[in-house]
């Protein structure tokens, strides 16, 4: 007996040594995926007139959920008046009145063109929150290095940043090798049907394909992850899908609420919703999220580096840690959000019908159909009818763009030149962007905007005190300038 115990102890010890050995070897081999030897660019200064241009763009309320044509016309006039050389030398195509495509012809027609995106529309300012702003949301005011207003982050900064860079390059006599396209939609915040969708149709009709497409979606974030001291520049290589399902409980009998049966339409429905919420979709570490960990892991402090180098052993631990943070959880699973309820006509009448809407953000690897099947399976109640709400606006997750492509490498290099301390990593975008329409015209779609923000700044998007620092604005112009140059090599 003692012999057996000793043998077992030795075996365990041996196994432990092997595991520790593997962990050490894997950690040592967990090498950096950052491109080395990139020198930071000396930024050109932000001119006073550039600041005025952005402020003027912010002053025009191009709000897309209630389109005011005169605002959009004013915005167009501003662009044409401000960027004279752009409008003389680039070919411009107008799509559905207020969306624009610009073509900057390159010197080498054999190279595939690239496309930089932006959108001119903004979300409205909630009336009840207006007095909580530190400045007029449509005033373009500057206070202590911050330029305030709707569109400073989302997304006029990109349009103005691109055009400022382009105008400067034209003045300097720069000629790109490949064709450079800009596409500025005007209704991204309301699903992009007349902007991005129509723009892509134009490209398809003209048989145009792009080496890479760059849209908004991710940025450089300070203190993005525990165990990572450097800022994290994320390049979105995929984005989650979107679907809303309607659950309807349909019961045969209604009746009087003074003698209720054990179950009513309302209780059947709420039971189904609870079951669903209690059975979240499984967490997965693959695709863009696995790529994120592979790029971030080697740059982390030693403890975290060891964890990420040994996902074969630590996956469960990492999942359970990250699942506590809704933002981290959202990049690893399809999320379930019950958002609307309807049922009953009067408080003393038992309803025969009750319905709910549940919003899902779908992780790559799953689809709108597979989500529906999962929901039916989990609820497992014939009295609940599950339907896809508004199928036209349901989208499967975007395919994964490569991290070995020309576009990814150029972005990696340019980010390092402008944000030298940042760790650059691919990632999954959890919201929907206009770029989802572009899958038919490019294999390499990336989502990144050149802004360096704190986590606390993220609530400025669509929120109170949307504002951009002048440092960020300077970097944005420099970034596009450098990106166009690097893409021309
Ligand atoms: Zn946006």
Q: Is residue 273 in a domain?
A: yes
> What tokens were used for 206?
């003209």
What per-residue confidence (pLDDT) applies to 251? 82
Whether 277 and 386 share a structural domain: yes
> What tokens were used for 404?
């070995």
What is d(CA 184, CA 280) in angstroms, rounded to the nearest whole number? Answer: 37
Residue 204 has pLDDT above 90, yes or no: yes
Whether 166 and 275 share a structural domain: no
Q: Is residue 384 in a domain?
A: yes
Residue 254 has pLDDT above 70, yes or no: no
> What tokens were used for 413?
């290099």
Whether 123 and 161 share a structural domain: yes
CATH code (residue 188)? 3.40.630.10
Whether 294 and 360 share a structural domain: yes
pLDDT tens digits for range 18-62: 999 999 999 998 999 999 888 899 999 999 999 999 999 999 999
Whether 384 and 290 share a structural domain: yes
Whether 369 and 253 share a structural domain: yes
> What tokens were used for 324?
């506590």
pLDDT > 90: percent of the chain: 81
Who contacts 52 (Cβ-Cβ below 8 Å, separation ≥6)? none
Q: Supply φ then ψ for residue 152, to 5 degrees.
A: -65, -30
Whether 338 and 477 share a structural domain: no
- The Å distance, Cα 146 to ligand 1 centre, comes to 19
The one-character DSSP state at 177 is S
The one-character DSSP state at 340 is E
Average pLDDT estimate for 195-211: 97
Q: Is residue 414 in a domain?
A: no
Is residue 187 annotated as part of the catalytic site, yes or no?
no
pLDDT tens digits for range 335-358: 999 999 998 888 888 888 999 999
Q: Which of 349, 369, 393 is the last residue of a domain?
A: 393
Name the maximum alpha-carbon separation found in the chain: 92
Q: Structurally, how many domains does the chain consist of?
A: 2
> What tokens were used for 359?
């919003």
User: Of the ranges 233-242, 258-267, 408-417, which one carries the lowest mean pLDDT score?
Assistant: 258-267
Residue 8 has pLDDT above 80, yes or no: yes
Is residue 121 annotated as part of the catalytic site, yes or no?
yes
Whether 155 and 301 share a structural domain: no
What per-residue confidence (pLDDT) applies to 432? 86
Average pLDDT estimate for 182-206: 96
Residue 312 has pLDDT above 90, yes or no: no
- The Å distance, Cα 367 to ligand 1 centre, comes to 24
Whether 315 and 437 share a structural domain: no
Q: Is residue 169 in a domain?
A: yes
- Top-confidence residue, 292 or 3: 292
- The Å distance, Cα 154 to ligand 1 centre, comes to 5
Who contacts 190 (Cβ-Cβ below 8 Å, separation ≥6)? 64, 65, 121
Residue 262 has pLDDT above 80, yes or no: no
Q: How confident is the model at residue 321 (pLDDT cuts 50, 70, 90)?
A: confident
Whether 74 and 168 share a structural domain: yes
- The Å distance, Cα 214 to ligand 1 centre, comes to 13
- The Å distance, Cα 286 to ligand 1 centre, comes to 26
Q: Is residue 9 in a domain?
A: no
pLDDT tens digits for range 84-139: 999 999 999 999 999 999 999 999 989 999 999 999 999 999 888 999 999 999 99
Average pLDDT estimate for 437-453: 96
- The Å distance, Cα 216 to ligand 1 centre, comes to 7
| 249 DSSP β-pair partners | 354, 384
CA triplet 407, 92, 115: central angle to 5 degrees? 10
CATH code (residue 288)? 3.30.70.360
What per-residue confidence (pLDDT) applies to 263? 83
Structural contact between residues 448 and 411, judged by C-beta atoms closer than 8 angstroms? yes
Residue 258 has pLDDT above 80, yes or no: no
> What tokens were used for 354?
């009750």
Who contacts 220 (Cβ-Cβ below 8 Å, separation ≥6)? 231, 232, 233, 234, 415, 419, 422, 450, 451, 452, 453
Q: What domain range is 317 assigned to?
A: 236-393
Whether 211 and 246 share a structural domain: no
Q: Which is catalytic among the residues 121, 164, 167, 457?
A: 121
- The Å distance, Cα 109 to ligand 1 centre, comes to 32
What per-residue confidence (pLDDT) applies to 255? 64
Q: Which of 345, 369, 393 is the last residue of a domain?
A: 393
Q: Which is catalytic among the residues 188, 215, 216, 396?
A: 188
Q: Is residue 75 in a domain?
A: yes
Q: Is residue 201 in a domain?
A: yes
What per-residue confidence (pLDDT) applies to 396? 94
What per-residue confidence (pLDDT) applies to 368? 96
Q: Is residue 138 in a domain?
A: yes
Q: How confident is the model at residue 325 (pLDDT cuts 50, 70, 90)?
A: confident
Whether 249 and 356 share a structural domain: yes
Mean confidence (pLDDT) of the chain: 93
């Amino acid at each position: 007996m003692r012999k057996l115990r000793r043998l077992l102890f030795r075996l365990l010890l041996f196994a432990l040594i092997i595991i520790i050995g593997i962990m050490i070897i894997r950690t040592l081999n967990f090498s950096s995926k950052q491109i080395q030897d990139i020198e930071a660019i000396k930024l050109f200064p932000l001119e006073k007139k550039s600041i005025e241009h952005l402020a003027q763009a912010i002053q025009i309320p191009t709000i897309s959920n209630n389109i005011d044509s005169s605002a959009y016309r004013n915005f167009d006039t501003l662009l044409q008046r401000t960027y004279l050389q752009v409008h003389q030398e680039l070919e411009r195509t107008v799509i559905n009145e207020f969306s624009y495509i610009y073509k900057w012809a390159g010197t080498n027609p054999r190279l595939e063109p690239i496309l930089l995106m932006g959108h001119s529309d903004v979300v409205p300012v909630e009336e009840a929150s207006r007095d909580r702003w530190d400045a007029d949301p449509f005033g373009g005011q500057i206070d202590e290095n911050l330029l305030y207003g709707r569109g400073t982050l989302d997304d006029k900064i990109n349009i103005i940043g691109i055009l400022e860079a382009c105008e400067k390059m034209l003045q300097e006599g720069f000629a790109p090798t490949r064709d450079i396209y800009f596409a500025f939609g005007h209704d991204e915040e309301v699903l992009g049907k007349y902007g991005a969708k129509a723009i892509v149709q134009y490209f398809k009709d003209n048989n145009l394909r792009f080496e890479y497409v760059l849209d908004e979606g991710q940025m450089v974030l300070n203190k993005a992850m525990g165990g990572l001291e450097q800022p994290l520049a994320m390049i979105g290589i995929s984005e989650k899908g979107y679907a809303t399902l309607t659950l309807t409980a349909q019961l045969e009998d209604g009746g009087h609420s003074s003698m209720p049966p054990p179950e009513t339409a309302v209780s059947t429905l709420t039971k189904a919703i609870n079951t669903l919420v209690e059975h979240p979709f499984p967490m997965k570490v693959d695709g863009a999220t696995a790529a994120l960990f592979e790029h971030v892991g080697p740059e982390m402090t030693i403890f975290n580096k060891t964890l990420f180098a040994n996902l074969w052993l630590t996956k469960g631990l990492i999942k359970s840690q990250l699942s506590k943070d809704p933002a981290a959880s959202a990049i690893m699973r399809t999320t379930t959000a019950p958002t609307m309820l309807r049922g009953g006509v009067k408080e003393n009448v038992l309803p025969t019908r009750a319905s709910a809407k549940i919003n899902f953000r779908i992780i790559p690897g799953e689809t709108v159909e597979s989500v529906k099947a999962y929901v039916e399976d989990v609820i497992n109640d014939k009295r609940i009818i599950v339907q896809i709400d508004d199928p036209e606006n349901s989208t499967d997750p975007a395919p994964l763009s490569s991290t070995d492509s020309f576009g990814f490498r150029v972005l990696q290099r340019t980010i390092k030149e402008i944000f030298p301390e940042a760790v650059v990593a691919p990632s999954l975008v959890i919201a929907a962007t206009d770029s989802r329409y572009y899958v038919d015209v490019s294999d390499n779609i990336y989502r990144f905007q050149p802004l360096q923000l704190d986590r606390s700044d993220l609530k400025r998007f669509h929120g109170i005190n949307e504002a951009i620092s002048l440092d960020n604005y300077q970097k944005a112009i420099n970034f596009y300038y450098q990106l166009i140059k690097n893409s021309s090599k």
